[in-house]
Amino acid sequence: MLPAVVLYVFSIAVPIGYTAFLSLRTVKVQGLGLGPGSRTEVWAGLSNYGGTLSDADFLSSVLRVLGYGLVVIPVMLGLALLFALLLDSVRVRARRFARLVIFMPYAVPAVISSLLWGFLYLPAVSPFTYAADQVGVTLPQPMAPGLVLFAIANIAVWGGVGFNMIVLYTALRSIPSELYEAARIDGCNELQIAWRIKIPVILPSLIMTSVFGMITTLQVFAEPTVLRPLTNNISTSWSPLMMIYRDAFTRNDIYSASATSVVLAVATFLLSFGFLRLVQNRAFAQENR
């Protein structure tokens, strides 16, 4: 217990506290800002927050990421649910193979998968451009300004669908099969069973995977950062986290970066709080308190 508490305090609690502290400070420049002592750290109150919340870059990065989430989460979870239901259905072939292959991208870190897809998006490499050329069609560039969001979303879907599929599939497997037998006797077909029994029963898992999806969406960083060298259409403030990175390390404004971090952390926290309420009472039924 003790090592966990010490590590927790050191790696999580103290950094959070320190960031909260910094977010309330700023640098005051005296004179020309040259020489020692001309830059002093002073209290800033909530002005950094005001700066963050009224920053057009920040607002557009939040909106962009919300749009991105609206693409990624339904597509990723929809596919994951579809695949999980198919795997769970007795009428489908090649199950082991499909399960393994669809889950496999989980083993590929986001950086590497972004790198691979990034190359596949280049017109000289893209098999889709090639195929379209053969039939004389010109495809739009995946990393064109209007499409780059989908290009990044595709990478997230590719990397996440298998993991979510396994989560939902495990939930499906824990449904007692008598339920299905009863439904079959009542004349339900596979589709009706899926819709009326399976999906309602695994709803908690679906909600949870959505919450996890939202949390990771808010924090998208690796994919756009890796794709940046390959296109001009991803700005340094594409996502909120990229903006925090830019403020903290390129502009050396750790105070604004801290305030933005706190805003992002609070947003994440609010989102995940629902999840906490959801799981807490279910998880420890078997422990005698």
Interface with other proteins in residues 53-82 (CB under 8 A): 79, 82
Q: Using CA atoms, how far apart are residues 276 and 206, in angstroms rounded to an integer?
A: 14
By CB under 8 A, which span of 34-42, 49-57, 63-71, 163-171 interacts with other proteins?
Answer: 163-171
If one asks whether residue 177 binds other proteins (CB under 8 A), the answer comes out as yes
For residues 34 and 90, which CB has a smaller minimum distance to other proteins in the complex?
90
| Residues 155/146, Cβ–Cβ less than 8 Å | no
Stretch that binds other proteins, among 47-55, 70-78, 83-91, 135-143 (CB under 8 A): 83-91
Binder among 19, 47, 235, 236 for other proteins (CB under 8 A): 19
Binder of other proteins out of 32, 56, 124, 137 (CB under 8 A): 124
Pairing of strands 25-29, 39-43: antiparallel
Rounded to whole angstroms, how far apart are CA atoms 106 and 108? 5
Helices (H), 24-147: 47-53, 56-88, 95-103, 110-121, 127-134
The 93-122 contact track toward other proteins, x by CB under 8 A, reads xxx-xx-xxxxxxxxxxxxxx-xxxxxx-x
Report the distance separating Cα 272 and Cα 266, nearest Å. 10
The interface region with other proteins, picked from 26-34, 47-55, 60-68, 225-233 by CB under 8 A, is: 225-233
Count of residues that bind other proteins according to CB under 8 A: 109
Q: Under a CB-based contact definition with an 8 Å cutoff, are residues 281 and 210 in contact?
A: no
Note whether 234 and 64 are within 8 A (CB).
no
Shortest separation between residue 230's beta carbon and other proteins, angstroms = 7
Question: According to CB under 8 A, which residues from 230 to 269 bind other proteins?
Answer: 230, 241, 244-245, 248-249, 254, 257-258, 261, 264-265, 268-269
Cβ distance to other proteins smaller for residue 34 or 250: 250
The structure tokens listed for 72 are 């990624």
- Residue closer to other proteins by CB (options 30, 104) is 104
Torsion of CA 190, 194, 197, 201, to 10 degrees: 150
Q: Which is nearer to other proteins, 43 or 91 (CB)?
A: 91
Q: What's the DSSP call for residue 57?
A: H
* Residue (30 or 274) nearer to other proteins, CB: 274
- Closest distance to other proteins from the beta carbon of 221 (Å): 5
Kindly tell me which residue out of 31, 36, 127, 187 binds other proteins, with binding defined by CB under 8 A: 127
Which residue in this structure is represented by tokens 């924090």?
Answer: 219
Determine, following the binding rule CB under 8 A, whether residue 24 of this chain makes contact with other proteins. Answer: no
CB 71 within 8 A of CB 153: yes
User: At 13, is the secondary structure helix, strand, or coil?
Assistant: helix
State yes or no: residue 284 binds other proteins (CB under 8 A).
yes
* Range in contact with other proteins (rule: CB under 8 A) among 46-54, 59-67, 136-144, 176-184: 176-184
Contacts of 69 (CB under 8 A, 6+ apart): 213, 214, 217, 218
